[in-house]
Structure 1
Amino acid sequence: MKKLVNDPKNVVTEAVAGFGAAHADLVRVSTDPIYIVRTDAPVAGKVGIVSGGGSGHEPMHGGLVGPGMLDAAVPGAVFTSPTPDPILAATKAVDGGAGVLHIVKNYTGDVLNFETAADLAAADGVEVRSVLVNDDVAVKDSLYTAGRRGVAGTVLVEKIAGAAADRGDDLESVALVAERVIGQVRSMGVALTPCVVPHAGQPSFTLAEDEIEIGIGIHGEPGRERIKLEPADAIVDRLLGPILDDIPFVAGDKVLLFVNGMGGTPQVELYIVFRRAAEVLAERGIEVTRTLVGNFTTALEMQGMSITVLKLDDELTTLWDAPVQTAALRWGR
């Protein structure tokens, strides 16, 4: 294993410190307890948006903190949920008097720890609502979840909910917008290689040189099936079929198409994937009106990608287009 780390036990602390130093115009960081918050938090009268989860998925979530998106992000250890204490501290740090929305990926540890933090915040007089992202169509239940996993669609939920909060919506309205996105977004991924968690020092799973895992989770959890490597177009077709059949997406729909890299996949390959995905959608009469391509929800250095499709309406499109200024996503400011 070769990694640019010092002591594996200090990976998250040192990474967060570096992130804060690199983006001091956007965020400030706390190291005890550990969280990342936008520099102007709390914003008086605005709903605060907090998300988080295990580290190793960068730039999600810390890279998405800033005006128009998250007010705070709480990083746990690599692939491990943050504990309630830093979630509570981040929640209080962004409470501007209008309440706080927790955006939680559907993993058992995240769900339990965010629930505990929300209860503690409520006892301290902070109103908290929570939404649960479960966009992964690959598997319904696993060792890590009850129900579907929350994966790359979380980025879209955070952007659109953040825009709703930025325009002055109240807590109930921001939560409803987030729930609408969750109801209309679906994702599925593939792994070409495993990843190595720093403190483990060895791959989290094994794949033969000619094998890929269809439906992989963002921590390396098993997917639907392990198959022989296929051409990119065939892999895209395998992922898009279950995605489009799930809601289902139908002719006449307008969608956002998001191709997400898992950390080790070159941009040139992501655009090959996007090309085929756009072709399939056009063949079905589905119009791609908004796009996103890049590494946003990663699994350390895993080679692979995921495809996310969000059914848009006029309001969601307006909120997606609204200005955002974060380390990883920015336009309109």
Structure 2
Amino acid sequence: ETLANEVVKNIKTIGVALSAATNPEVGKPGFELKSDEIEYGVGIHSEPGYRREKIKPSKELVDELVGKLNDEMHLDKNKKYAVLVNGMGATPLMEQYVFSHDLLNKLDEFGIKPDFMRVGNYLTSIDMAGLSLTIFEIKDDKWLNYLNYPVKTIAWN
């Protein structure tokens, strides 16, 4: 519990969606987007976000999401970070890789090279098209050891 409480203070996540997840209880999406729209700040349970606009290139999505996380975290090249790019369920891995490439370029502008990084579908939102970006400040080298500890699960390799 002590470790979890400390980690929570150092981890931030933000999502972006091109479509909402279908809510199994009601059989329809949690929100509606036009085919050329995106929504920033969506929740994993298809909660609406903070802004909609026309679809942007990956680099502009990265600028928005990293900007919001930087406002909260004050990214610093002298700190260590773990990064997770998470597909929301209907986002092809190739698109996640394009976003991740642009993300690494953006973090390089801050002088940051992540000490740990994963890209893939780790916590999805059924059929939502989009992704979430998590940045975790590694305040203790033991945390990095924990992330790299060999485990056998279906969702972590």
Is the shorter-chain TM-score for this pair beyond 0.5, marking a shared fold?
yes
Query: Residue in 1 aligned with 2:156?
Result: 329
1:208 aligns with 2:23: no
| Larger Rg computed on CA atoms | 1
Q: How many residues align?
A: 156
5+ long unaligned stretches in structure 2 = none
Aligned partners of 1:314, 1:196: CA distance in 2, in Å?
40
Amino acid at match of 1:302: M
**Residue 314 (structure 1) aligned with residue 141 (structure 2):** yes
Residues 15 and 43 of structure 2 are in contact (CA less than 8 Å); yes or no, is this contact kept in structure 1?
yes
Q: Hey, what's the Cα distance between the residues in 1 that align with 2:143 and 2:114?
A: 14
Which whole-Å CA distance do the structure 2 matches of 1:254 and 1:198 have between them? 39
CA contact (8 A) 1:253 1:287 kept: no
Q: Indicate the residue corresponding to 1:296 in structure 2.
A: 122
Q: Give the aligned partner of residue 69 of structure 2.
A: 243
- Spell out the pairing of 1:152-191 with structure 2 (5 A cutoff): 175-191=1-17
Identity %: 37
Q: Which has the higher contact order (CA 8 A, sep 6+)?
A: 2
Q: Which residue of structure 2 aligns with residue 282 of structure 1?
A: 108
d(CA) in 1 for partners of 2:4, 2:24: 33
User: Whole-Å Cα distance in 2 between the matches of residues 197 and 224 of structure 1?
Assistant: 20
2:43 counterpart letter in structure 1? G
Give yes or no for contact 1:213–1:226 (8 Å, CA) kept in 2: yes
Selected match of 2:46 from 220, 228, 232 = 220
Corresponding letter in the other structure for 1:192: L
The match for 1:151 is none
Could you tell me which amino acid in structure 1 is paired with residue 152 of structure 2?
Q
Verify the 8 A CA contact 1:256 1:290 in the aligned structure 2. Answer: yes
- Structure 1: distance between partners of 2:61 and 2:73: 21
* 8 A Cα contact 2:77 2:112, kept in partner: yes
Larger fraction in strand:
2
Instruction: Tell me the TM-score normalized by structure 1.
Output: 0.45
In the aligned structure 1, how far is the partner of 2:21 from the partner of 2:12?
Answer: 24
Aligned-pair CA distance for 1:203: 2.0
Q: Which amino acid aligns with 1:320?
A: L
What do you get for the CA RMSD once the two structures are aligned?
Answer: 1.2
Question: Normalising to structure 2: TM-score of the pair?
Answer: 0.94
- C-alpha distance after superposition, 1:203-252 (max 9, x if no partner): 22110111111000111111111111111110111011111221222121
Matches within 5 A, 1:1-333: 175-312=1-138, 313-330=140-157
Asked if structure 2 preserves the Cα contact closer than 8 Å seen for 1:187 and 1:308, the reply is yes
Aligned-partner SS, 1:239: helix
Asked whether the 8 Å contact 1:252–1:287 carries over to 2, the reply is no
Runs of at least 4 residues of structure 1 off by over 4 A? none
